[in-house]
Amino acid sequence: MPHRTRPMTALLLFTGLNAILVSTISPVYDFVCFLPFWERWRERICQEREATSLKSSEAR
């Protein structure tokens, strides 16, 4: 075996990295999910959907 394995170091590194990722996911999620761009996009899609449903109901 060319090098020594260090299971405790790997475990601590893995746990530390996961702790950092878990603590930073909430602000990142809030930033991505609640951007004004997405709000405008959702409103536009909703309006387009309503317009097409009104158009199809008028055609009947």
Cα–Cα dist 12/6, whole Å: 10
Name which of 46, 24, 13 is nearest 54 in CA terms.
46
First-to-last C-alpha distance (Å) of the chain: 78
Q: Would you state the pLDDT for residue 45?
A: 93
Q: Would you state the pLDDT for residue 30?
A: 83
Amino acid at 25: I
**Domain ranges, ordered by start, for the chain:** 26-60
Q: Would you state the pLDDT for residue 60?
A: 62
Whether the pTM exceeds 0.75: the reply is: no
The mean per-residue pLDDT over the stretch 4-16 comes to 89
pLDDT in tens, 14-51: 999 999 998 888 888 888 888 888 888 889 999 999 98
Q: Would you state the pLDDT for residue 50?
A: 92
Phi-psi domain of 5 (left: phi exceeds 0; alpha: psi -120 through 50; beta: other): beta
Who contacts 52 (Cβ-Cβ below 8 Å, separation ≥6)? none
